[in-house]
């Protein structure tokens, strides 16, 4: 065998360039397989006993509450993690005080049930000159000194270490200046990363009903793992006792209750020293043997400089704390009870080249390398002798990559075909079995300069992990984004064969089988960013599904089994951070804050390596492929949450609630006064300004209102000094609300024309129609017809702020929120009233509604996996001029509604033709048979739906009994309309639908409409009368 330096030399001979050293954890260079129970070496168990900090349980005054006790005293204490940090560059004592005080300020005030802090997790830079032995007593001193302010009298447990980099956070407070004014963008904490600079992070945890045990294990205390065969004779009947004693969980600690043995195994957080790596595999294997269902996570302590020595911290109240600072061994803490931990690991390695199969291992090659038979057998199992391209797997991978690239760029087809042909020609050379070093040299020639430089320094090979791949995604990033876990476990080659070109992994770290798939990898910052983001996307997907491996315990079948996260640990290795990602520090902790905006605590440290299962709890246990192991050049993310439905504590929300409570009444009173004033204004406008209060409006012989367009009088000129203006000689007064409404709308359109002339508006509209990037009007009537194709009565919800007769419909009108709710509820189409004269709407409401419906449909599609179509938008307004049609087209409307009572026949013809030209569908609203007859004269296809209204246009009140629409449904005029325009034109009803009662409820009137031939109804006030959160339910209850 040859060293990694000889491997580098071989690359140089094959055409490589200069090289630099690449560091990795030492245990990656030697290790036995952690769970390979077919291979046991036995040694005499040491008689020396490991030191445990304490075996006390930190619950309530170190007493655990049973479920019955918790229920009897109404134990609603939250699980809380609170972090503070300090970057004081000179004084460790001051830094401890600042960090601990900040963490204390983010905890809820102590109560009789919780007056001691259960656990502190500490990480500090190794650059401080003050002795590390001052850390534990100073933290306890700060907690006790602050008891008068926060109420906590002490600390039960503490673990921690020195580190080459520290990660901490500060909780967002209501008094702090917020980076964003939107609550939707607010994050519960702001993370901070300090690499190679003085800093300390202190995390304080309140963990109700959780057993906590801290421990310190010396490397001399760890026996060599033999699968329990030898330990059964010396360590207990089943061989597990020796391992349980090491972590303070032997039989004397009452750990193995018969009722929950193996079903509630502990969760271990471990912080080994760098020197402990040689014993780490045995330790992990022994704990896995003793606790098959347990979880393990953690990181190896580190330092900024290789000249300093890492330190470990371990403390427990009432335990043996004569030495709470250690230079060797492993410290840790075990959790058992009401706590759940989710873990995942990012490898930061980018796949290069194709996918290969192993066709020869070291077990097939010659011996004689100066090893014993056992050593040679162990090396053989970890050696790849020859590989060959797996064409099917490579083609599948390339196809997915091409699909992703097509989404990102528009590369010409001929270039794509040439690229594919070149790849096919190159891969054809890989169909012949080759030594992995020769194939690595071939792959390296196709890489960028940076990737080539990395491969010359270190050779990474990923071995495909066990478990069935049926139904799983082959692409690594796509798999992670779906929560399917990593496909390959990436390992660094420890040595290579000079003569045969074989490669060998750390001895015993892996058993390589003939036929196993493998792949080459390189470290790459941009890919590492994508991998970390995909990992969190998969985590969120699994979290929403409630299918994280550790989260399937729930007695409530109707509620999700997962509770919100309460804290997160981020444990990157020293070669990540700015070294890998570039730019400013804080990429990974910032990513956590982005995906977990409601988590109040983010902390951690930069480690020499991270411990745990590669996929943790994300993809579940996949045979032995998801084993506990040491990972180099990786990051581990650890998310804490409670198993039970404990309340969630938010420092920001606690302060914000107090502020909001003080201002709530004043704000409500101000809002009520504003709404009352607006209602009075609209009422006066509709009853006084828009019509005569004493005289009836003039009508024609056929009973229709006589409405005139606005009269404009120039008046006589009046001059004062140099200023001249005109005074109207005659002031006209509208004879009905409709006429006044029309006049006001004409004035509004005139003002718009002054800002944007009609010619410019038409040009903009024409440009938008020819621009493929601009949104196009969608089919409005198609989804409506589809919704009623099975005979169901179609409900089309309308979003409007107010009614002229009744005033404001909602105290808080949020068109975006309401449209999203209606989209999720399955609305086939939505109407938005954009009139600002009587209904309080705006043109922007159309654009907002379209964007909200699209966003809600996309989110629904991602969640469900099925395509969800965004409901099209109907612009409801008083349309008098073509100018308004162009405005609605640019605002994003899909259809418009014409009030026939306000238009002459020539106007109807003109407006419908223009609407068709600019791709807008037309609905027509009528209140009489005469108006229906006007529409009958239009050409077939000009009207896409007819709306029968219960509104009285003279006063804009409604027919309270709904007889107007029912009468029109039975009229001869409607029959003639259907004969002319076709029976497939939907007949809709609007006006108090959902509010009019018949036969004792509001559904009776809807039944009568359906029985008389109505296809559906546009409902605005009926939905507004219900709470917005319940409005969506009405779509289902009224549809029949």
Share of the chain above pLDDT 70, in %: 76
Q: Is the pLDDT of residue 211 over 90?
A: yes
Lowest mean pLDDT among 119-123, 371-375, 997-1001: 371-375
Closest Cα to residue 147, out of 110, 102, 93? 110
Contact by Cβ (8 Å): 569, 604? yes
Concatenating the DSSP letter of every residue in 232-283 gives HHHH-SSS-HHHHHHTT-SGGGT---TTTTTTT--EEEEEE-GGGHHHHHHH
Q: Is 221 exposed, middle or buried (0-12, 13-18, 19+ CB in 10 A)?
A: buried
The whole-angstrom separation of Cα 225 and Cα 39 is 10
Query: How confident is residue 152, by pLDDT bands cut at 50, 70 and 90?
Result: very high
Listed ranges 59-73, 458-472, 488-502, 862-876; the one with the highest mean pLDDT: 488-502
- The stretch 44-59 carries a mean pLDDT of 42
Q: Give the pLDDT confidence score for residue 184 in this predicted structure.
A: 44
Contact by Cβ (8 Å): 199, 168? yes
pLDDT in tens, 764-801: 999 999 998 888 899 999 999 999 988 899 999 999 88
Q: Is the pLDDT of residue 707 over 90?
A: no
Phi-psi region of 719 (alpha: psi -120 to 50; beta: other; left: phi over 0): beta
- The stretch 829-840 carries a mean pLDDT of 90
Q: Helix 135-145 vs helix 92-105: angle between axes, to the nearest 10 degrees?
A: 40
The whole-angstrom separation of Cα 768 and Cα 773 is 8
Lowest mean pLDDT among 394-403, 520-529, 678-687, 987-996: 678-687
Contact by Cβ (8 Å): 965, 994? no
Query: How confident is residue 605, by pLDDT bands cut at 50, 70 and 90?
Result: very high
Q: Is the pLDDT of residue 187 over 60?
A: yes
457 or 510: which leads in pLDDT: 457
Closest Cα to residue 431, out of 395, 391, 394? 391
SS3 track for 820-864? HHHHHCCCCCEEEECCCCCCCCCCHHHHHHHHHHHHHHHHHHHHH
- The stretch 626-645 carries a mean pLDDT of 90
Query: How confident is residue 249, by pLDDT bands cut at 50, 70 and 90?
Result: confident
Contact by Cβ (8 Å): 966, 1009? yes
Q: Is 33 helix (H, G, I), strand (E, B) or coil?
A: coil
CA distances from 898 to 196, 671, 904, 941, 947 (A): 69, 34, 11, 15, 9
Q: Is the pLDDT of residue 715 over 60?
A: no
Listed ranges 166-175, 459-468, 520-529; the one with the highest mean pLDDT: 520-529
Listed ranges 51-55, 462-466, 494-498, 1006-1010; the one with the highest mean pLDDT: 1006-1010
The whole-angstrom separation of Cα 868 and Cα 871 is 9
**C-alpha neighbours within 13 Å on the C-beta side of residue 296:** 32
Contact by Cβ (8 Å): 518, 387? yes
**C-alpha neighbours within 13 Å on the C-beta side of residue 1024:** 24
The whole-angstrom separation of Cα 917 and Cα 895 is 12
Contact by Cβ (8 Å): 455, 15? no
Q: Give the pLDDT confidence score for residue 21 in this predicted structure.
A: 31
Q: Is the pLDDT of residue 413 over 60?
A: no
Phi-psi region of 633 (alpha: psi -120 to 50; beta: other; left: phi over 0): left
Contact by Cβ (8 Å): 821, 1028? yes
Q: Give the pLDDT confidence score for residue 177 in this predicted structure.
A: 42
Q: Is 213 helix (H, G, I), strand (E, B) or coil?
A: strand
| Residue 988 parent element (H or E) | strand 987-990
pLDDT in tens, 318-362: 776 667 899 999 999 999 999 999 999 999 999 998 899 999 987
Q: Give the pLDDT confidence score for residue 551 in this predicted structure.
A: 46
| 517-523/349-361 β-pairing | antiparallel
Lowest mean pLDDT among 51-60, 317-326, 561-570, 798-807: 51-60
* 349 Cβ neighbours under 8 A, 6+ residues apart: 460, 462, 490, 521, 522, 523, 524, 527, 528, 633
Q: Residues for the chain: how many in total?
A: 1040
Q: Is the pLDDT of residue 3 over 60?
A: no
419 or 48: which leads in pLDDT: 419
Q: Is 429 helix (H, G, I), strand (E, B) or coil?
A: helix
Kindly report the pTM of this predicted structure.
0.60
Q: Is the pLDDT of residue 1039 over 60?
A: yes
- The stretch 820-843 carries a mean pLDDT of 90
- The stretch 878-907 carries a mean pLDDT of 95
- The stretch 142-163 carries a mean pLDDT of 94
Give CA 393 to chain center in angstroms. 31
Q: Give the pLDDT confidence score for residue 107 in this predicted structure.
A: 93
Backbone angles phi, psi at 588, to 5 degrees: -70, -45
Q: Is 508 helix (H, G, I), strand (E, B) or coil?
A: coil
- The stretch 434-463 carries a mean pLDDT of 91
The H-assigned helical ranges of 869-941 are 882-891, 905-917, 929-936
Q: Give the pLDDT confidence score for residue 435 in this predicted structure.
A: 92
* Residue with tokens 């404001």, as numbered in its chain: 808
Task: Give the angle subtended at the CA of 1007 by the CAs of 1004 and 1012, to the nearest 5°.
Answer: 130
Q: Give the pLDDT confidence score for residue 1036 in this predicted structure.
A: 67
Q: Is 374 exposed, middle or buried (0-12, 13-18, 19+ CB in 10 A)?
A: exposed
Query: How confident is residue 432, by pLDDT bands cut at 50, 70 and 90?
Result: confident
Closest Cα to residue 847, out of 883, 881, 802, 816? 816
Q: Is the pLDDT of residue 663 over 90?
A: no
The whole-angstrom separation of Cα 894 and Cα 888 is 8
Q: Helix 972-981 vs helix 929-936: angle between axes, to the nearest 10 degrees?
A: 20
Lowest mean pLDDT among 260-264, 662-666, 787-791: 260-264
Q: Give the pLDDT confidence score for residue 86 in this predicted structure.
A: 96
- The stretch 111-117 carries a mean pLDDT of 87
Q: Is 846 exposed, middle or buried (0-12, 13-18, 19+ CB in 10 A)?
A: buried
Q: Give the pLDDT confidence score for residue 628 in this predicted structure.
A: 85
CA distances from 522 to 352, 398, 419, 576 (A): 7, 18, 22, 14
The whole-angstrom separation of Cα 309 and Cα 328 is 9
Closest Cα to residue 926, out of 984, 982, 978, 973? 973
Q: Is the pLDDT of residue 33 over 70?
A: no
**C-alpha neighbours within 13 Å on the C-beta side of residue 722:** 0
* 979 Cβ neighbours under 8 A, 6+ residues apart: none
Q: Give the pLDDT confidence score for residue 67 in this predicted structure.
A: 46
Contact by Cβ (8 Å): 602, 636? no
Query: How confident is residue 425, by pLDDT bands cut at 50, 70 and 90?
Result: low
Q: Is the pLDDT of residue 215 over 90?
A: yes
Tokens of 707: 């409405």
Q: Is the pLDDT of residue 176 over 70?
A: no
Q: Is the pLDDT of residue 489 over 50?
A: yes
Tokens of 490: 């990436």
Tokens of 643: 């198993």
The whole-angstrom separation of Cα 381 and Cα 773 is 57
Q: Is the pLDDT of residue 560 over 70?
A: no
Q: Give the pLDDT confidence score for residue 420 in this predicted structure.
A: 57
Q: Is the pLDDT of residue 590 over 90?
A: yes
Contact by Cβ (8 Å): 300, 328? no
Q: Give the pLDDT confidence score for residue 559 in this predicted structure.
A: 43
The whole-angstrom separation of Cα 497 and Cα 10 is 10
Q: Is 881 helix (H, G, I), strand (E, B) or coil?
A: coil
421 or 960: which leads in pLDDT: 960
The whole-angstrom separation of Cα 780 and Cα 775 is 14
Q: Is the pLDDT of residue 685 over 90?
A: no
Concatenating the DSSP letter of every residue in 730-745 gives -----SSHHHHHHHHH
* Average pLDDT for the chain: 81
| Residue 304 parent element (H or E) | none
Q: Is the pLDDT of residue 162 over 90?
A: yes
* 599 Cβ neighbours under 8 A, 6+ residues apart: 188, 189, 565, 566, 567, 568, 592, 593, 639
The whole-angstrom separation of Cα 485 and Cα 999 is 59
Q: Is the pLDDT of residue 830 over 90?
A: yes
Closest Cα to residue 835, out of 876, 799, 805, 807? 876
Q: Is the pLDDT of residue 813 over 70?
A: yes
- The stretch 759-768 carries a mean pLDDT of 93
- The stretch 214-226 carries a mean pLDDT of 88
Query: How confident is residue 926, by pLDDT bands cut at 50, 70 and 90?
Result: very high
| 80-86/200-206 β-pairing | antiparallel
- The stretch 209-228 carries a mean pLDDT of 87
Closest Cα to residue 935, out of 962, 916, 908, 896? 908
13 or 372: which leads in pLDDT: 372
997 or 900: which leads in pLDDT: 900
Query: How confident is residue 181, by pLDDT bands cut at 50, 70 and 90?
Result: very low
Lowest mean pLDDT among 356-360, 743-747, 867-871, 934-938: 867-871
Centre a 10 Å sphere on the Cβ of residue 733 and count the other Cβ atoms it contains. Answer: 12
Tokens of 564: 């919100």
**C-alpha neighbours within 13 Å on the C-beta side of residue 298:** 28
């Amino acid at each position: 065998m040859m060293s990694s330096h000889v491997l580098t030399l071989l690359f140089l001979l094959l055409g490589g360039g200069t090289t630099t050293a690449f560091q990795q954890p030492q245990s990656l260079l030697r290790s036995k397989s952690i769970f390979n129970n077919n291979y046991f070496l036995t040694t005499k168990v040491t008689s020396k006993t490991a030191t445990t900090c304490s075996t006390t349980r930190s619950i309530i005054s170190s007493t655990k509450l049973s479920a019955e006790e918790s229920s009897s005293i109404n134990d609603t204490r939250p699980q809380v993690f609170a972090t503070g940090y300090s970057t004081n560059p000179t004084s460790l004592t001051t830094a401890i005080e600042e960090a601990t005080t900040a963490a204390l300020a983010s905890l809820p005030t102590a109560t009789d049930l919780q007056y001691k802090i259960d656990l502190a997790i500490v990480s500090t830079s190794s650059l401080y000159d003050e002795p590390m032995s001052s850390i534990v007593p100073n933290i306890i001193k700060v907690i006790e000194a602050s008891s008068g302010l926060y109420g906590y009298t002490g600390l039960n447990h503490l673990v921690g270490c020195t580190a080459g980099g520290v990660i901490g956070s500060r909780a967002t407070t209501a008094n702090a200046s917020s980076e964003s004014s939107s609550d939707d963008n607010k994050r519960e904490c702001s993370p901070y990363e300090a690499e190679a600079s003085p800093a300390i992070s202190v995390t304080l945890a309140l963990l109700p009903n959780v057993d906590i045990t801290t421990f310190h294990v010396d490397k001399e205390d760890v026996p060599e793992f033999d699968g329990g065969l030898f330990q059964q004779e010396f360590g207990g009947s089943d061989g597990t006792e020796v391992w349980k004693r090491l972590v303070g969980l032997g039989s004397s600690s009452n750990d193995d209750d018969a009722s929950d043995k193996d079903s509630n195994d502990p969760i271990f957080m471990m912080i080994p020293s760098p020197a402990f790596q040689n014993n780490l595999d045995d330790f992990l294997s022994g704990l896995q043997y003793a606790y098959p269902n347990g979880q393990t996570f953690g990181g190896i302590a580190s330092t900024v400089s290789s000249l300093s020595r890492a330190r470990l911290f371990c403390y427990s109240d009432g335990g043996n704390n004569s030495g709470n600072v250690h230079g060797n061994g492993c410290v840790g803490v075990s959790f058992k009870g009401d706590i759940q931990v989710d873990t995942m690991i990012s490898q930061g390695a980018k796949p290069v080249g194709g996918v290969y199969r192993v066709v020869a291992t070291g077990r097939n090659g010659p011996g004689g390398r100066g090893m014993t038979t056992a050593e040679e057998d162990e090396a053989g199992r970890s050696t790849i002798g020859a590989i060959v391209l797996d064409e099917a797997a490579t083609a599948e991978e390339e196809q997915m990559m091409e699909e992703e690239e097509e989404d990102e760029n528009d590369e010409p087809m001929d270039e794509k075909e040439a690229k594919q042909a070149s790849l096919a020609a190159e891969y054809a050379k890989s169909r012949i079995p080759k030594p992995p070093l020769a194939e690595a040299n071939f792959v390296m020639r196709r890489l960028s300069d940076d990737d080539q430089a990395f491969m010359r320094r270190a050779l990474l090979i990923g071995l495909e992990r066990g478990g069935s791949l049926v139904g799983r995604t082959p692409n690594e990033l796509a798999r992670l984004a779906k929560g399917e876990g990593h496909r390959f476990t990436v390992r660094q080659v420890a040595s290579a064969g000079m003569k045969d070109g074989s490669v060998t992994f750390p001895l015993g770290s892996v058993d390589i089988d003939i036929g196993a798939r493998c792949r080459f990898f390189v470290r790459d910052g941009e890919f590492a960013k994508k991998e970390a983001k995909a990992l969190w996307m998969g985590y969120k997907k699994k979290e929403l599904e409630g299918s994280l491996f550790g989260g399937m315990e729930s007695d409530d079948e109707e509620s999700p089994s997962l509770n919100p996260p309460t804290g997160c640990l981020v444990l990157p290795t020293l070669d990540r951070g700015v070294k890998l990602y570039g730019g400013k520090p804080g990429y990974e902790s910032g990513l956590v804050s982005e995906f977990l905006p409601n988590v109040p605590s983010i902390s951690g440290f930069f480690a020499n390596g991270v411990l745990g299962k590669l996929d943790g709890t994300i993809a579940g246990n996949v045979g032995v492929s998801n084993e506990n192991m040491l990972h180099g050049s990786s990051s581990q993310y650890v998310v804490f949450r409670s198993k039970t439905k404990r309340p969630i504590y938010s420092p920001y929300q606690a302060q914000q609630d107090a502020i909001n409570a003080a201002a709530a009444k004043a704000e409500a009173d101000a809002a009520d006064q504003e709404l009352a004033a607006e209602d009075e204004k609209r009422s006066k406008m509709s009853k006084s300004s828009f019509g005569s209060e004493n005289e009836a409006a003039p009508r024609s012989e056929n009973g229709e209102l006589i409405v005139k367009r606005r009269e404009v009088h120039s008046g006589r000129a009046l001059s004062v000094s140099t200023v001249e203006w005109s005074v109207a000689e005659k002031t006209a007064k509208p004879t009905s609300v409709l006429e006044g409404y029309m006049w006001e709308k004409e004035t509004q359109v005139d003002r718009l024309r002054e800002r944007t002339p009609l010619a410019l508006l038409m040009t903009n509209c024409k440009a938008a129609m020819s621009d493929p990037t601009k949104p196009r009007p969608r089919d409005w009537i198609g989804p409506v017809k589809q919704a009623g194709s099975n005979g169901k009565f179609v409900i089309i919800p309308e979003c409007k702020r107010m009614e002229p007769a009744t005033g404001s419909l909602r105290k808080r009108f949020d068109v975006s929120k309401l449209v999203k709710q209606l989209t999720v509820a399955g609305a086939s189409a939505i109407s938005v009233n954009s009139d600002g004269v009587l209904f309080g709407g705006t043109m922007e409401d159309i654009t907002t509604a379209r964007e909200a419906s699209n966003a809600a449909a996309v989110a629904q599609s991602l969640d469900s996996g099925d395509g969800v179509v965004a409901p099209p938008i109907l612009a409801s307004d008083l349309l008098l001029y073509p100018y308004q049609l162009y405005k609605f087209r640019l605002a994003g409307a899909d259809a418009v509604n014409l009030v026939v009572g306000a238009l002459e026949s020539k106007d109807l013809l003109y407006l419908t033709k223009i609407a068709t030209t600019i791709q807008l569908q037309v609905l027509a609203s009528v209140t009489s048979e005469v108006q229906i007859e006007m529409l009958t004269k239009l050409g077939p296809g000009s009207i896409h739906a007819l709306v029968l209204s219960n509104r009285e246009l003279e006063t804009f009140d409604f027919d309270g009994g709904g007889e107007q629409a029912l009468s029109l449904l039975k009229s001869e005029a409607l029959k003639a309309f259907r004969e002319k325009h076709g029976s497939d034109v939907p007949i809709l009803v609007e006006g108090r639908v959902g509010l009019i009662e018949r036969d004792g409820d509001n559904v009776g009137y809807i039944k009568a409409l359906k029985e008389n031939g109505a296809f559906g109804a546009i409902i605005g006030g009926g939905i507004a009368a219900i709470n917005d959160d319940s409005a969506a339910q009405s779509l289902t209850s009224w549809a029949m």
